[in-house]
Structure 1
Amino acid sequence: MLQANAEEFCTECRKPVSYHLQKKTVTRCIHGKEHTFQLTEAVCDECGSEMNLPGLLDTNALETDEQYRSAEHILSVREIKTLMRLYNLGKAPLSLAMGFGEVTIARYLEGQIPSQEYSDRMRKALASPDFMKSLLEENRDKLKPAAWRKGMESVRQLEGIASLSPPLRQSIAEVLSRLGEVTPLLMQKLLYYIQGLSLALHDQPVFPEPCQAWIHGPVYPGVYQVFRDFSFNPIDDDRFAILRETENTLTEEQKALIHLVTDTFGLYGGKVLESVTHSEDPWITARSGCPADTPSSTELSQQDMKDWFLRLGTRYDLRSVEGLHQYIQDAAFCLFHPIQ
């Protein structure tokens, strides 16, 4: 690994010197098409000349490969490895399941760049267990029974994610991308606030799934099933490549709202937000007459959610980070410092 400020020999200074790393813009022609790359270069701290470091050419080759694939929407080696783990298939079985030659995936892992057609097929399998299921059925005779069963079992395990609507999957992906570490409890509360604020500010939901008034606050049952294995731990799993690869159905307005929620509510723990939702009318109304420790599948009314956030909007600026922070702080203060 290249380390800035280490010492290497400079051919201009003729002695070992310290250096720093920076990015340079390089334009190269690949297959008759010009591409611009941001590549790492090492610069001598004494004379300012570019230095040739051990391993730098390998770093540049990797940067060029990744940026070229990204520009051309070609699957990366990392994504192909994720596809293998996702469906629990080795190189040869995955090649055959995809309808490729038996050694195709092995060649891709060694650095050969897939054709656009083959890349698109693998990307679709990353995003859609149903598509992968159809490929496994189509190519069943080419696979050993054990490999086929492993692939189909993986498809079955992924069906819960695929059953979520595309805008809900995309919303979850945005949250994970924005925050990194998110527990299932926090995810549920963020989805609730995304939906509620959208109903009030945009007069429409972001996703169609209903929200239920569970003991621990508003919950989207399908999302609970997908993430239940993580319990109180941060969500992290190769299966969620499906979320990232979901075709984007969100508007820029909806993405901006999701970012607003993650930048405010996302800074608080799931238990804090659970307590806040327990003080809000939509959850209280849906739980009316239900003992505190009794499970319930009663749905929160979207009209109640809209009305609640519209009322909040008369006291707080719900379109601003400052306004939402103020609401959360006020709500949390009242919960933990009740008037005697």
Structure 2
Amino acid sequence: MNQVEHIAAYLYNRYRILYGQTIDEMKLHKLLYLLQREALNLYHQPLFKEPLLGWVHGPVSLEVRSIFYRIEDFSIPISLQTEMLIDSVLKQYGNRQSIDLCHLTHQEISWRNSRKSLCKNEIGTNPLKMSDIVKDAKRIKPFDTDWGCFFEEHADVGR
């Protein structure tokens, strides 16, 4: 299993390559949540073990929040399977605005349950339960991916 900082660093750099701009912190956190949900949906196991907290604007990783401004220092190689998952999530959600991803995560059972008993604008320290993220994952269909394009981009892997 990966550390969330390593996944975030790869995601941060990959986003810059694909979209030609730097990802903002809010979008990074929401994409991390979506990656975790997709990993549970496709592979039936979490991508990273660190918790995501139910903050006002959606799921947040405290680990990533603490390193965001030096995130490139955490970049390490990740598995091809994880690269494929990240590319797929970026293809599906990367072009959306941060606030749209915020609204999307507010529809998730895991985020809503983490916010129970909190005031609307209270930051919140409750983690999203993995069992709730699994419920969210079961509500979605595996996304369509153009794996051929991915493999063409990574044709030199393993050579």
1:265 aligns with 2:93: yes
Where in structure 2 are the equivalents of 1:306-321 lying within 5 Å?
306-313=134-141, 318-320=142-144
Which residue, 66, 70, 81 being the options, matches 1:253? 81
Counterpart CA distance in 1 for 2:52 and 2:108 is 14
Which of 129, 132, 140 aligns to 1:301? It is 129
Aligned ranges 1:130-279 → 2 under 5 Å: 165-179=5-19, 180-227=21-68, 239-243=70-74, 246-248=75-77, 250-279=78-107
How many Å apart are 1:280 and its aligned residue? Answer: 1.4
Scaled by the length of structure 1, what TM-score is found?
Answer: 0.39
Residue 168 of structure 1: how far off its partner (Å): 4.3
Alpha-carbon distance in structure 2 between the residues aligned to 1:167 and 1:208: 11
Please say if residues 165 and 209 of structure 1, whose CA atoms lie closer than 8 Å, have aligned partners that are also in contact: no
> Which residue does 1:289 correspond to in 2?
117
- Higher RCO (Cα < 8 Å, 6 or more apart): 2
**Judging changes above 3 Å, is the alpha-carbon distance between structure 1 residues 291 and 253 closer, same or farther for their aligned structure 2 residues?**
same
What is the distance in 2 between the residues matched to 1:199 and 1:241?
26
Describe the shift of the 1:181–1:172 C-alpha distance in structure 2 as closer, same or farther (beyond 3 A): closer
Gaps of 5+ in 1: 1-162, 230-238, 323-340
- Report the alpha carbon displacement of residue 257 of structure 1 after superposing the two structures with TM: 1.1
Q: Distance in 1 between matches of 2:22 and 2:38?
A: 23
**Contact preservation (8 Å) 2:36, 2:46:** yes
Distance 1:164 1:272, change over 3 A: closer
Aligned residue for 2:54, secondary structure, equals strand
Q: In structure 1, how many angstroms separate the alpha carbons of the residues matched to 2:11 and 2:45?
A: 15
* C-alpha distance in structure 1 between counterparts of 2:8 and 2:48, whole Å: 5
- The one-letter code of the counterpart of 1:288 is K
CA displacement 1:154-185 (0-9 Å, x = unmatched) = xxxxxxxxx96434433443334333321111
Q: 1:293 to 1:260 in 2, by over 3 A?
A: same
1:187/1:241 CA distance change after superposition, 3 Å: closer
Distance in 1 (alpha carbons) for counterparts of 2:4 and 2:37: 18
Give unpaired runs (5+ residues) of structure 2: 147-159
Which has the larger Rg?
1
Partner Cα separation in structure 2 for residue 220 and residue 271 of structure 1: 17
For residue 151 of structure 2, what is the aligned residue in structure 1? none
Q: Deviations over 1:107-138 (max 9, x none)?
A: xxxxxxxxxxxxxxxxxxxxxxxxxxxxxxxx
- Aligned mates of 1:193, 1:220 — CA distance in 2: 12
Please say if residues 186 and 273 of structure 1, whose CA atoms lie closer than 8 Å, have aligned partners that are also in contact: yes
Given the two structures, how large is their TM-score scaled by the length of structure 2? 0.79
Q: Secondary structure, in 3 states, of the residue corresponding to 1:307?
A: helix
2:4/2:49 contact within 8 Å kept: no
Size of the alignment, in residue pairs?
A: 143
Matched with 2:150 is none
